[in-house]
Structure 1
Amino acid sequence: MIKVYTKSCALIFAFTILCISAYSQNITGTVYDENGATLPGVTVRIQGTTKGDATDLEGKFNIQNAPVGEQTLVYSFIGYLEATSVINVPASGAVVSDKNMEVDSKMLQEYVVVGYGVQRKQELTGSISRVDGKQITDIPAPSFEAALQGKAAGVQVTQGSGLAGSASVVRIRGIASISASGDPLYVVDGIPITQDYFLNGNRGAMNNNPLATINPNDIEDIQVLKDAAATGIYGSRGANGVILVTTKTGSGKGWSFDFNTRIGVSVPTERPNMLNSEELLQIYQEAWENDGNVGLAPLRGARTWEQARNTDTDWVDETIHTGFKQSYNLGANYGSKRLKVFSSIGYDDNGSYLIGNSYVRSSFRANASYEISKKVTVSASTSFSQGVNNRVDAAWSGGLGDAMSTALPYFPIFYEDTVFSGTDILHLPGDYFVDGSNPVRKRELQEWRTTEFRSINNLSLVYKPIDKLFVKVYAGYDYMNLKDDKFLDAQYRNVTRLDTLNSLAERWENTTNNYNVNATATYFHDITEDHKLTYLVGGEYQQSETVANPRRFRQDEFVEGTFYDNNNLLDQILIPGVPFADRPLVDSIPAIAGYESDDDNNTLEKYNFISAFARINYAYKNKYYAQASFRTDGSSRFGENKRFGFFPSASVGWVLTEETFMTNIKNVSFLKLRSGWGITGNAAIPNYQQYGLAQTASNGYNNEDFRYLSVAANPNLQWETSSTVDFGIEAGFFEDRITTSLSFYHKSTTNVLLNITPQVSTGFQGFWDNVGEIKNQGIEFQVTSVNFSKKNFTWKTDFNIAYNYNEIVSIGSYSPDAISGGTNDTRVVVGKPVGTNFLVQFSHIDPETGRNVYLDINGNETMEWDPANRIAVGRVLPKAIGGITNTFVIGNWNIGLVLVYSLGSNIYDSSAKRQLGVVSEWNMRTDIFDRWRQPGDEADYAQVSLLNENYGLDDAFNNNTTQFLKDGDYLRVRRLSVGYNFPKFKMGAAQFQGASVTLSAVNFLTFTNFDGLDPEIARDFENATDRNMSPNISYLTPPQEMSFNLALNLRF
């Protein structure tokens, strides 16, 4: 009996097992993101049941005892679109179901970084544009701000030039300043950073760019705050807009890595077309004869005609080549329940198309946050970067600028063997030409590099003492050290000054320590379910000090080798704070290289900011919103009775799609109206102007040095303030497949800070005053559209356009000539935009005489240039700017096309008046072929002559006319890319979560009527006045860079 019972039980048990296995099985699989990286923490469930699982650290899941038959799996994870897959569960055997999930872009943008916090996008009542970090790294650019071009409505970004490491000019909603800086405030991870240029055009090349040391690969996203409602919380520093940079933080579970590399080549967007020897000699002889002379014209540098005819140097070819680029970046990401870490290292070597010019950046970053308890979280970040700019002369200083001007084709590179043409040191007959303008000689006999070390650090603590109250304390430290080192060979320095036969080594060093501390308390007060308030109060203190230390060493006699070859002698000699006599190796310096030192000339500058601020936000039923902010700032840059300013703002918003009357309008998924007003300030001027400045001069009475006041004091110097009104509409259609925004703004800036040029009789070189008013008003429109979306094909378009009207309302009692910009090219004229060109009108070339015909102030024709006939003409700022981005995804392939455009501006081609005007010591453009030669000719340019008076001019340099005021409109293909995404794969023992390969072309096509080199112009100047008033002046400016790049990205 027992045996029979036992066998019966065994049979029943076996039958039950068979039945269970026939009706339930296991479902396993792995969940990936859209790039092929595994996703831990994803919830996977069987629809209509309670069965499910969550993915582990490797993205794997295992659902046991799944019902047999057709089942639907539902995948859900915060920040990703919910996904489903239909599978057939067999009666026997396991089922494997892998899935890729797509990022929910709407969810990612749900929260937006604002000043001192974050807000839900729906609650925003200010004008803010967001640019994702991937959009920044997609375009190889010298620094991250250059990659913003065309990505945000109302943000004008103009790359300085094609030089490696050059700075960009960024303007948000026009220009609201004249002599104060027009640059926006940059805030990295909550800390305002130093953005002083340090080096300027007077150092012989384009400005150094302090933002280039920040690795774009470390950036998570960028928020651009444009109106007073958004920037008002920054008070004194928000007048020109605020750019908030958020770097990456750890996320997910466990470790993940991202490696990307890029190689590329670069060439100029346009090659200068200059005359060759035969052509230039023909022009020169023609001008000589036109002036009534006979015989052969005497040539520059006593060159004989035989020598000139047998020499034809293409100086442009001698200064440009195909540049090489390479970059490598490795990012590590770790996330757990309490600890999040992001770290990266990067190396970027950008070689430009100018021979000898490159910018090399090495960087390291570590960001970490740790939740100590439910009440306390600490975060810290540190970054170290070094940028080495191997510099060459540019523009007016030499290099390609020489090749387009004073480097004449009938001079050779070398006179004999290794002795450069243009060197008079050996009394070589007939060799010297203008100012030693041999660009090869300059490059080879000079070593010039700028080394910039930067470290940005912050430490923060978030404490939650009670529910809904958060106290945050930030401490930031931004350190920047810049060394500009130059060695000049004796041959370089001695063109005609034979009594100063020596080489030269010099260093210009600047060190900035920028300290920032701020503390905020934020309380979320839910009065009822419908009424919600958020309070924020805080304070901030900033101190910045900069030590400038220029040093110079002379060598008594020529020694073989360069300064840098002598065991880094410069670094050993130039030790800050140590007297020259006490520096190491001082006794051996004369024996090694015969160097003598100039006296050190150290300067120390400090400035301080102290602020208190508050903000209150109100929300009613998630459809009515209001915000008010208040900030008071104190600045050490103003007089004692004018140091503090008060900057309030207020704004409201109404989400109409939360109203019941919008329920039946199905195609409108989101609609919001917003409006705001506020006052912001600007204190971005040089230090100590309120006190006046003195300078030391030599050769005074009894040959004694003496001091004199160069800048007059103004103890009443105060804030430049801007009052802004903004109105906007934001909308989404067809479940947000189309999203759009439209903004209108009006900004009035008063107490404009002006650096006035007084009459010579005063004895002052300048003084600062608060005078005048500037008006900016405009419209911005932005739309994002998913035009087509199917399984294997997606097409998305982003379009933005911004129109800005800029006008000088008043400059008090000052005349236009009191404030000049550029090389005497631009002025401030009431009723005209900031920095209008102030020129005599050019009419035509007289077909009978071949002379220039101008118009006087009354419109009458004249052949004489007269400054009394100047009028305000042209626009520095474009009327409209924008960008168009199209993205196509076809299976694993993707194609990107980025267009940028600028409409309604002018370019003053300042170098053309010497390349196409009076025949002088400059070479000329091939455009001169269209010149007047005989009566009846309809020509673009006058009969060539060596005499200024034949052009109706006093001189060939300062007499500006509209003949060279050009149309600056352009449409540029900023980037065209083709890429392929590889899903998860193995390579040997290595497991990769995904990879991509991308081929891209940058700036490879431009449509423009501008007949110069490149219509994207931002001439480099040494002060804010010139940068605001004269960015459209082209003077031997190197063209932009065209590059072709191949990029590889690996995720593991």
Structure 2
Amino acid sequence: MDLYFHANFFIKRRFLLTLVFTLLFLPFIVRAQITPTVNSRLNGKIIDAQTKERLPGATIAIKGVTNSTTTDAKGEFTLVSGQPFPYTVVVTYIGYLPKELVIDGSPVTISLDIDTKQLNDVVVVGYGTQKRADITGSVSSIGKTALQQPVTSFDQALKGAAPGVQVTQTTGQPGGGVSIRIRGGSSIQGGNEPLYVIDGFPIYNAGSTAGTLSGTPVNPLSSINPGDIESIDILKDASATAIYGSRGANGVVIVTTKKGKADRSSVTYEGNYGVQTLRKKVDVLNAHDFAILRNDALYDATPAKGRFQYLTQQQIDQLGDGTDWQGSAFRNAPTQNHQLTVSGGSAKVRYLISGNYQDQKGIIRNTDFKRYGLRANVDAHPFERLKISTALTLSKADANIAPNGIVNSLLIMPPTATIYDPNGGYTLRNPFENIFANPIATINEQINKSTTNRVLGTTFAEYKIIEGLNLKVLFGADVNTISEKKYIPNSIYEGSLTRGQAGRGSLESYSWLNENTLTYDKNWGDHTINVLGGFTQQSFSRENFTASSQNFVTDELGYNSLQGGSTLIAPTSDATRWDLQSYLGRVNYNYNRRYYLTASLRADGSSRFGKGNKWGYFPSAAASWNIGNEPFFENISKTVSDLKFRLSYGKTGNLEIGEYQSLATLATYSYLFGGNMITGFAPNRIGNDRLSWEKTDQYNAGLDIGFFDNRLQLNIDAYYKKTTNLLLNVQLPWTSGFDSSLQNFGSVENKGLELAVSSQNFTGAFKWNTQFNISFNRNKVLALGNGANTYITGNYIIQVGQPLGNFFGSVTNGILQTGEEASKGKYTGSATPKPGDRLYKDINGDGTFTTAADKAIIGNAQPDFLAGLTNTFSYKGFDLLIFLQGAYGNQILNTNRQNLELFTGQQNAAASALDRWTPANPSQTIPRAKLDPAPVFSDRFIEDGSFLRLKNVNLTYNLPRTFAAKIGLSNASIYVSGQNLITWTKYTGFDPEVTSGSNVSPGTDAGIYPVAKSYFVGVRLGF
């Protein structure tokens, strides 16, 4: 509705009514003026009860009479009552609870409490907003307490904050990304990440758009300052997401940034400083124990005698603990964040401008992340029928990225080796004649930089054609430039092999958006209808290149002189583009705020699919019944204050398969002819004109219920979604000339239950609120392509009837003991079994064990349930937040453990080696040491990934307003905060929450940069 138009209309109508009233009652007015009255004048101010900020525009009225006034820009008022004290006044302000109190003198200060129910009343949905009570779909809103966490990227704040949303950090690298699954993963080879809509601009964050050189890319979403965000709404069921059609199958995360407020100029500053530490070390052998292990491995290997040197007991005793490689690489790392925001405006123009600087050092030396950000949001209402709004983000992010595989190198480096040799240079060769890349040298000397510049902005104009009918035209652009620089010097082991290696890469991406929508709102009697129709189009293009060379005379110029390398490596370059055009429509109807219906349809045309299947159609329908507004409900409303049922169905799609997948393509190949290298082209992919969308049908049933005037609220959702037409590489006959083709085959289902509970346990001077959520999801593969039943890739298996994420390997069955070589030796997988070898189960029943034939499902990466619990306490200016987060039932492939339990004596080993099998210690679980083991992937390396984590504790003290005013502040608060403080888990790796892997192979801890435990102190100041 146009507030300006109605304000004018109201003023004109009030003037006419006043004029008529004056003419009719003029005699009485004159008489009243000559009658003595009491001219009681009430002065005062109205403030926020918690922040003590003044509230301009609040209304104060005398109960039972017409006298009223509003507060000015300073939150102050003067009310001429015409009657003596005491009398009762009623104070109201949008977003706050009304207050009624008796006034017996002047001046007064009246404080109002925020109406938390009204505060959460409006939810951002696709192409608009809705009152929460009017929503028919499943939508979760992230509270401000979650957004106040000191995180680098806002997607990290979603951990445990909403039911049905699984957030997994793929790396602890500063500025690193996360992977998000909303109601489980539906695709096998396509994308499973949700769609992000930031101030109206859709962005698909695949975790990386860079990584051409670094190996561990920076999260593109980290370019957006979390302190600029006002709200996050997560659309989960198809009724809510179908309006995004081909991109809604994995859920939608709608991010709205902060805006200025009319007649409320303010300057705020927030800053914090913190220290990050490694949560735990992985237990490995010290030098003394490692040397004993090495001797055991050498004694076992007859060919090794004469090739390697054994250590005497005296030499072993002199080794001590040796080098602590983890302790030398990890550090206590500082981090700081600063934000200055200026906001204000008038009835016609509102603005908010903020600047942000963040500097986060990594817990691994020589790694960091710096962000410089500027945001400007302007909302203008220049004419009665026209609104204009602009949201603009400018950011630059610089990162020093940890070398790829460095964490694994720290674990396997022998503790007997030293960081520096006697001459002060880096040690390249350890005392046992084995060559290793010195990880400290790699960390200190290797250069691995990434710089990201981003411009993200949207602007729209909304024009009211007639009453209730509005036209909105939006334009947006997202421009990214990423530059990567790498140099490996000749002074370290990796660089000595090539006499130095330099590389540079860049990636430029540009996306533009245009949306044109018409919205019609109409109320007549008990009927309300909202109709949305529109046309949108978006285009995305990307270009990237890399260039590198090696064999340098000097390391001084690094990556700034590629031509200085005498050996040039062939450069690479690439360019891609996709386009999307869409038509959309939605109708919302409700009768008397009891019965609600929603229907939507979107048609998407994408350049990514075959020429006969570029268009897809995605409908949805939903209904809800707000029983709480029924007349008969009044009899039980004292106990059950609200009750609502929701049902929905919808179809959404997935187009995240990369560009040009439906087309036949050529690849470059090099051949040697006549002593010359010749480059040519040859077909490398067959075309598929029938390639189309993955389609997800989803059903949702929900119940929203409130007790005791909504002090206790429950939201329950049950869902079933089935994804068909999976995009899979299907094997082709060799006669076709190709081994596989991307086709639409197969289906996957997800079904689950979500529960969210919110309670106001105590109100008044002492407040205690609780939010709890828990979600269960069950995933199953229903069909695979071309009649196949099983798809095996490495250590993973995808099988019909089983969930995605199954680990596939051998099953351990104890340790071969002395005298059992003849009877059980065939189950070791060794041609010459010896006591101390690990035994494995014979899965196929052929009477022997082989690694290729005897495999089974040995675990799954998907949790049985996810949960989050937040408690907030407030008392006399103190606010305490305690947030617990957890997962149960998932397994993790600990590849670090797999490497550390080889017990070869050529690399360091896990502390479990202390209990290895020896003739004096016939262990039943840990095998013997041997120089050349045949690694077997087994259930030994699949660990329970369940955990409960004290994720965030925040204690804030809000200074009294009187004290703040003395130092020139409108409000001030200080806080201390801790993140990842305590983790209860059986997982032996660095962190159970950090895993990587693709859709096909999830749940892998492959030497990932660990997540830090952090402590912060900060301030928030208002001027």
TM-score by shorter chain over 0.5: yes
Query: 1:988 deviation in Å?
Result: 8.5
Query: 1:299 deviation in Å?
Result: 6.0
**Residues 625/921 of structure 1: CA separation in 2 closer, same or farther (3 Å cut):** same
Query: 1:66 deviation in Å?
Result: 6.7
Query: 1:922 deviation in Å?
Result: 2.5
> Which deviations, in whole Å up to 9, do the C-alpha atoms of 1:744-800 show, x marking residues without a partner?
10000001112457799987575322111101000000010001112x201100000
Query: 1:63 deviation in Å?
Result: 2.6
**Residues 757/994 of structure 1: CA separation in 2 closer, same or farther (3 Å cut):** farther
Partner-residue secondary structure (3-state), 2:612: coil
**Counterpart for residue 543 of structure 2:** 547
**Counterpart for residue 825 of structure 2:** none
> Which deviations, in whole Å up to 9, do the C-alpha atoms of 1:45-80 show, x marking residues without a partner?
333444443211111122345744444443210111
698-707 or 357-366: which moved more? 698-707
Partner-residue secondary structure (3-state), 1:153: coil
- Structure 2 residue aligned with 1:684, among 656, 668, 686? 656
Query: 1:563 deviation in Å?
Result: 3.1
Q: Would you say 1:131 and 2:131 are equivalent positions? A: no
| In structure 2, C-alpha distance between the alignment counterparts of 1:72 and 1:1007, rounded to whole Å | 56
| In structure 2, C-alpha distance between the alignment counterparts of 1:835 and 1:200, rounded to whole Å | 26
**Counterpart for residue 620 of structure 1:** 591
> Which deviations, in whole Å up to 9, do the C-alpha atoms of 1:331-354 show, x marking residues without a partner?
111131111111110001111211
What fraction of aligned residue pairs are identical, expressed as a percent? 29
Query: 1:204 deviation in Å?
Result: 5.2
**Residues 335/201 of structure 1: CA separation in 2 closer, same or farther (3 Å cut):** closer
- Structure 1 residue aligned with 2:416, among 410, 418, 431? 410
Indicate conservation of the 8 Å contact 1:853/1:861, yes or no: no
Q: Would you say 1:223 and 2:233 are equivalent positions? A: yes
- Write out aligned runs for 1:65-214 (5 A): 67-89=83-105, 95-132=106-143, 134-198=144-208, 203=213, 205-214=215-224
> Which deviations, in whole Å up to 9, do the C-alpha atoms of 1:130-155 show, x marking residues without a partner?
113x2343222231011011111100
> Which deviations, in whole Å up to 9, do the C-alpha atoms of 1:173-208 show, x marking residues without a partner?
001001101000000111112524446778454332
Query: 1:311 deviation in Å?
Result: 8.6
- Structure 2 residue aligned with 1:909, among 874, 881, 894? 894
Query: 1:698 deviation in Å?
Result: 2.3
Where do 5+ consecutive residues of structure 2 fail to align? 1-32, 819-834
Partner-residue secondary structure (3-state), 1:249: coil
**Counterpart for residue 639 of structure 1:** 610
- Write out aligned runs for 1:695-706 (5 A): 695-702=667-674, 703-706=677-680
| In structure 1, C-alpha distance between the alignment counterparts of 2:854 and 2:316, rounded to whole Å | 46
Q: Would you say 1:419 and 2:425 are equivalent positions? A: yes
**Residues 885/859 of structure 1: CA separation in 2 closer, same or farther (3 Å cut):** farther
- Write out aligned runs for 1:1000-1011 (5 A): 1000-1011=977-988
Q: Would you say 1:379 and 2:367 are equivalent positions? A: no
Indicate conservation of the 8 Å contact 1:638/1:718, yes or no: yes
> Which deviations, in whole Å up to 9, do the C-alpha atoms of 1:561-603 show, x marking residues without a partner?
3537xxxx47xx9xxxxxxxxxxxxxxxx7xx67786564321
**Counterpart for residue 457 of structure 1:** 457
Query: 1:714 deviation in Å?
Result: 2.4
| In structure 2, C-alpha distance between the alignment counterparts of 1:403 and 1:311, rounded to whole Å | 15
Partner-residue secondary structure (3-state), 1:368: strand
- Write out aligned runs for 1:326-475 (5 A): 326-394=336-404, 397-398=405-406, 400-405=407-412, 407-422=413-428, 433-434=434-435, 436-475=436-475
Instruction: State the TM-score, normalized to the length of structure 1.
Output: 0.88
Q: Would you say 1:799 and 2:772 are equivalent positions? A: yes
Q: Which amino acid aligns with 1:410?
A: T
- Write out aligned runs for 1:612-1011 (5 A): 612-666=583-637, 667-702=639-674, 703-755=677-729, 767-790=741-764, 792-813=765-786, 818-820=791-793, 824-848=794-818, 849-857=835-843, 864-919=849-904, 921-934=906-919, 937-948=922-933, 955-956=934-935, 959-985=936-962, 991-1011=968-988
Query: 1:809 deviation in Å?
Result: 0.7
Indicate conservation of the 8 Å contact 2:293/2:905, yes or no: no
Q: Would you say 1:531 and 2:537 are equivalent positions? A: no
| In structure 2, C-alpha distance between the alignment counterparts of 1:279 and 1:293, rounded to whole Å | 23
Query: 1:647 deviation in Å?
Result: 0.6
| In structure 1, C-alpha distance between the alignment counterparts of 2:549 and 2:392, rounded to whole Å | 36
Partner-residue secondary structure (3-state), 2:785: coil
Aligned-residue RMSD, C-alpha:
2.8
Partner-residue secondary structure (3-state), 1:212: helix
**Counterpart for residue 261 of structure 1:** 271
Q: Which amino acid aligns with 1:61?
A: F
Q: Would you say 1:1038 and 2:1023 are equivalent positions? A: no
Query: 1:366 deviation in Å?
Result: 0.4
Query: 1:1012 deviation in Å?
Result: 2.3
Query: 1:918 deviation in Å?
Result: 4.4
Query: 1:319 deviation in Å?
Result: 0.8
**Residues 539/217 of structure 1: CA separation in 2 closer, same or farther (3 Å cut):** same
682-691 or 936-945: which moved more? 936-945
> Which deviations, in whole Å up to 9, do the C-alpha atoms of 1:256-310 show, x marking residues without a partner?
1221001000012221222111111111111222345797982699xx9689948
Partner-residue secondary structure (3-state), 1:699: strand
Indicate conservation of the 8 Å contact 1:308/1:411, yes or no: no
Instruction: State the TM-score, normalized to the length of structure 2.
Output: 0.90
Partner-residue secondary structure (3-state), 2:267: strand
| In structure 2, C-alpha distance between the alignment counterparts of 1:753 and 1:256, rounded to whole Å | 52
**Counterpart for residue 563 of structure 1:** 558
Q: In the comparison of the two structures, how many residue pairs are matched?
A: 970
> Which deviations, in whole Å up to 9, do the C-alpha atoms of 1:495-523 show, x marking residues without a partner?
663xx43x333112111000111111011
Q: Would you say 1:511 and 2:508 are equivalent positions? A: yes
528-537 or 753-762: which moved more? 753-762
| In structure 2, C-alpha distance between the alignment counterparts of 1:421 and 1:1044, rounded to whole Å | 35
| In structure 2, C-alpha distance between the alignment counterparts of 1:59 and 1:380, rounded to whole Å | 28
> Which deviations, in whole Å up to 9, do the C-alpha atoms of 1:898-921 show, x marking residues without a partner?
011101111111221221134253
Query: 1:929 deviation in Å?
Result: 1.6
| In structure 1, C-alpha distance between the alignment counterparts of 2:348 and 2:310, rounded to whole Å | 75
Partner-residue secondary structure (3-state), 1:420: coil
**Counterpart for residue 577 of structure 1:** none
Indicate conservation of the 8 Å contact 2:295/2:310, yes or no: no
Query: 1:441 deviation in Å?
Result: 1.1
Indicate conservation of the 8 Å contact 1:693/1:710, yes or no: yes
**Counterpart for residue 826 of structure 2:** none
Where do 5+ consecutive residues of structure 1 fail to align? 1-15, 90-94, 424-428, 574-589, 949-954, 1020-1025
Indicate conservation of the 8 Å contact 2:418/2:427, yes or no: yes
Indicate conservation of the 8 Å contact 1:308/1:410, yes or no: no
Indicate conservation of the 8 Å contact 2:896/2:989, yes or no: no
> Which deviations, in whole Å up to 9, do the C-alpha atoms of 1:71-91 show, x marking residues without a partner?
4443210111112444432xx
Query: 1:969 deviation in Å?
Result: 0.8
**Counterpart for residue 602 of structure 1:** 573
**Counterpart for residue 587 of structure 1:** none
Indicate conservation of the 8 Å contact 1:25/1:68, yes or no: no
Q: Which amino acid aligns with 1:46?
A: I
Partner-residue secondary structure (3-state), 1:35: coil
150-159 or 908-917: which moved more? 908-917
| In structure 2, C-alpha distance between the alignment counterparts of 1:529 and 1:1000, rounded to whole Å | 52
**Residues 380/344 of structure 1: CA separation in 2 closer, same or farther (3 Å cut):** same
| In structure 2, C-alpha distance between the alignment counterparts of 1:70 and 1:47, rounded to whole Å | 12
682-691 or 234-243: which moved more? 682-691
**Residues 510/193 of structure 1: CA separation in 2 closer, same or farther (3 Å cut):** same
Q: Which amino acid aligns with 1:658?
A: N
| In structure 1, C-alpha distance between the alignment counterparts of 2:170 and 2:49, rounded to whole Å | 39
Query: 1:874 deviation in Å?
Result: 1.7
Partner-residue secondary structure (3-state), 2:281: coil
Q: Which amino acid aligns with 2:533?
A: V
| In structure 1, C-alpha distance between the alignment counterparts of 2:306 and 2:296, rounded to whole Å | 10
Partner-residue secondary structure (3-state), 1:626: strand
Query: 1:1014 deviation in Å?
Result: 1.4
**Residues 493/291 of structure 1: CA separation in 2 closer, same or farther (3 Å cut):** closer
| In structure 2, C-alpha distance between the alignment counterparts of 1:312 and 1:295, rounded to whole Å | 25
